Structure 1
Amino acid sequence: MKKEIHVSGMRCSSCEMLVSEALEALEGVQKAQASHQRGVVEVEYDPSKTDDEAMKRAIEGEGFTVTD
């Protein structure tokens, strides 16, 4: 499944990497591609192994805010 999550607080490519790596560390996430210019991260994941709340916690654990 693919999902786009709106994230505020990303300012640079280092921020993108933090968000992407935090999500990719979750079981069930195959790929995460963050864009600070667009303020989103596109995630490919298996919904039987992870959920929106786990992804939100991973992003917010890095100091960013999920806005959707």
Structure 2
Amino acid sequence: MVLRFSDLAIDGDEISMLRRVHTYACSTKKLEPESEEGAEIGKMLFYLYQQGVRGELALMQMLTTRESSTTGQK
């Protein structure tokens, strides 16, 4: 599989969407986005995005479900 630069570039709209998702995911866990735990959510967000998950709702659901299931919360 050949990657092009355009496959890797993130434009302004995508950055805004990723910020919204990060803020949402942190708020559901009552975390500050700049905290260590917030940074971990950010890392997972970028991982999911790089793996091809591009929908805002899908990212929100995956982050909040994934975080809840790893901490034992429902």
TM-score computed with the length of structure 2 as normaliser:
0.42
Higher RCO (CA < 8 A, seq sep 6+): 1
Hey, which of these two has a bigger chunk of helix by percent?
Answer: 2
Hey, which of these two has a bigger chunk of strand by percent?
Answer: 1
Greater radius of gyration (CA): 2
